[in-house]
A and B are shown apart, each in its own frame.
Chain A
Amino acid sequence: MAAVRLKNVVKRFGGFQIIHGANIEVDDGEFVVFVGPSGCGKSTLLRMIAGLEDISGGEIAIGGKVVNDVEPADRGIAMVFQSYALYPHMSVEQNLSFGLRMNGNPKADTERRVNRAAEILRIAELMKRRPRQLSGGQRQRVAIGRAIVREPQVFLFDEPLSNLDAELRVQMRVEISRLHKELGVTMIYVTHDQTEAMTLADRIVVLNAGNIEQIGAPLDLYDDPANRFVAGFVGSPKMNFMAAKVVGNDGGAVTVELANHCGAKLRKPLSGAPPAVGSEVVLGVRPEHFFEAGEGDCDIAIKADVAEHLGSVSYVYASAGASAGASAGPNPGQEELIIEREASRQRANGDHMVVSIKAGRSLLFDKSGARIR
């Protein structure tokens, strides 16, 4: 078992830098998820830890030992691939034992390890089958089994569930969680799915365009995102962002006017330095943080365009500026809002409604996307 430490890790392909100095400390036994949109560099980072990609700058240490120039096989890691990467011409048993056999591991020990993995993953009855005779979930188990057999210090998962259907994905998620508890080893897991990240991780690393946006526990990212990107990426459906302008500052709090909501105003207490009066800002409100009219600190009128009823909750897709006439803001552009409501069948399309925002349940960002606390 081992901690993994990334210090100023840089990756360049030709002239392009795609990882701009990553610093991450993964504790021994921790489950860390790298999450971000496709192309953000999360898989590259994982492959650099695995040793499948060269490190252009900085250093990576596993278990206190710098591994920049260590072969993948000697890093004490095992990896589970998105495509499972099972050898199609070998049986499950041969797939599990291939690496050990090829490296001259004693036969009895190989057998013991294979049996143990089969037991942990409950695939003992599949041992003689070929990968193409297995279902997606079974293939996934075999792929994980192949990693277990190596008895690694660190498990690396590269989007392991993205080829499974929704139901199986939930099932395997629980399975991987269980495995982490059972084995107690360090796991690093890459996904683009924030739900997977939220449910699996001890800590999440949010990546965007080769930069680390924030590192933190799942609920910390949800409650206290460092910037607009993280705020938008964590949580589903996405957080709503509304154009706003600072119109007042009474020391300790600013008043912002919502540009697209007929000049609705919200007074928001701040702990840090307030933005200048007149500056343009962005107010973020999660769909689940809209309240009934009058319950919050600022009411806005909206028009419901489409409603989705999921049974447990309903989502209303609404546009702003419902009440006509009144002084339109400086930017009367369309601004779609997603609002979570209690389950209902009533809200028909085109309804006008009023919802309320609470200062304590909203976030303020400056124009560049940085959080204003």
Chain B
Amino acid sequence: MSSRSSSKLGRSIALHLVLTPLALIWLFPLWMMAVFSTMPDRGIFSPSIELLPHGNFLDNVNNLQRDTNFIGAIGISVSVAVTYTFLSVLLTSMAGWALARYQFVGKGVVVAIILGTITLPYAVVLIPQFIMVARDFKLANTWVALIVPPLFNSLGVLFMRQSFSMMPTDLFDAARVEGVKEWRIFLFVALPLARPMLAALAIILFLSSWNNYLWPLLINSKPGAMTAPVALGTLIGLTKVSWGGIMAGAVMLTVPMLVVFVLLQRHFVAGIAAGAIK
């Protein structure tokens, strides 16, 4: 073996020696979440070290359902996330299209305002949003309150603006010369071409809605109107509560997203790399 390839082997071994323990540490909390969700409460709170799954998952789900209507909350979460994702993709891609493809009076101002306020912390708008939605519009504990206010998110606009402006102008001009109306160009030429970007955006938006905690906690705190994370959060810190149940809930919140992540990793990574979340 040449010294060249043996030094390569050495580096390869070193690489895996560093990465493997780090990866195991990183997987550990997820693994423990899965393990806890299959253990009875007395197993979780026993002095022995348990690192392998048991068979109590369904019992834990029942315990959770006894503590709070988690299945109902999941239903709300799914409906809200789906509706929010659809609306947000539609609104932000329309706005992104306009900013990418038209010259119009006030364009510079609109872009400047979006870019200028994008790093402001969400905390700044929390109180006025709450006062407006709860007191002025009287929409607390409704789906509208969960879906509409978070639609302001401007990262999607910037992401779609970028996507559309990377497409060749000729394509849209060709349609324009053929007399195709602008909204049809958007619908039948631009959107189909943006499919990978739309997928990335949709995944990120769905995830952000699915995991959203603070806003739903504030605005939909009534039992029966809570989203799944909020419902689960109410149990954490209570004394007479099934921790196996809480873990089962955590698994039900997490595993579907992990599956989506594994199946659509490419879109996920593309969406995050473009800075479309947080």
Name A's B-contacting residues (CB within 8 A): 47, 50-52, 71-74, 77-79, 81-85, 87-89, 98-100, 102-103, 146, 150
Contacts and interface: CB of A to CB of B under 8 A. Distances in A.
Contact of B174 (A71, A89, A100, A146): A146
With most chain A CB atoms within 10 A of its CB, the pick from B176, B177, B192 is B177
Given A102-B188, A103-B179, A103-B180, A81 B193 contact: no
A99 B170 contact: no
Contact of A72 (B171, B176, B192): B176
B193 A52 contact: no
B177 A50 contact: yes
Contact of B175 (A51, A82, A99): A99
Given A83-B168, A102-B184, A73 B174 contact: no
A77 B174 CA distance: 11
B136 interface: no
Contacts of A87: 171, 174-175, 189, 193
Contact of A77 (B177, B188, B192): B177
A74 B181 CA distance: 12
B180 A102 contact: yes
A78 B168 contact: no
A87 B188 CA distance: 10
A74 B173 contact: no
A85 B180 contact: no
Given A85-B174, A98-B178, 17 more contacts: A71-B179, A72-B179, A73-B180, A78-B178, A81-B174, A83-B171, A84-B170, A85-B171, A87-B174, A87-B175, A87-B189, A89-B192, A98-B175, A98-B188, A99-B178, A102-B181, A103-B178
Given A88-B193, A102-B188, A52 B179 contact: no
28 contacts: A51-B177, A52-B173, A71-B179, A72-B176, A73-B177, A73-B180, A78-B177, A79-B177, A83-B168, A83-B171, A84-B170, A87-B171, A87-B175, A87-B189, A88-B193, A89-B192, A89-B193, A98-B178, A99-B178, A99-B179, A99-B180, A100-B178, A102-B178, A102-B180, A103-B180, A146-B174, A146-B178, A150-B178
Contacts of A99: 175, 178-180
Contacts of A88: 193
Contacts of B184: 102
With most chain A CB atoms within 10 A of its CB, the pick from B180, B184, B192, B193 is B180
B170 A82 contact: yes
Contacts of A72: 176-177, 179
A79 B188 contact: no
B142 to A, nearest CB: 39
B170 A85 contact: yes
Contacts of B179: 71-74, 99, 102-103
Interface in B215-245: none
For the complex of A and B, the 4 pairs showing the least CB-CB separation, nearest first, are: A73-B179, A99-B178, A85-B170, A85-B174
Contacts of B193: 87-89
Contacts of B171: 83, 85, 87
A83 B170 contact: yes
Contacts of B168: 83, 85
Interface in B125-182: 168, 170-171, 173-181
B180 A81 contact: no
A102 B178 CA distance: 9
Nearest to A99: B178
Contacts of A74: 179
Contacts of B173: 47, 50, 52, 79, 81, 85
With most chain B CB atoms within 10 A of its CB, the pick from A50, A79, A82, A150 is A79
A88 to B, nearest CB: 7
Given A87-B189, A89-B192, A52 B177 contact: yes
Contacts of A50: 173, 177
A81 B178 contact: no
B177 A98 contact: no
Nearest to B192: A89
A84 to B, nearest CB: 8
Contacts of A85: 168, 170-171, 173-174
A52 B176 CA distance: 8
A185 to B, nearest CB: 15
A33 to B, nearest CB: 20
Contacts of B188: 98, 102
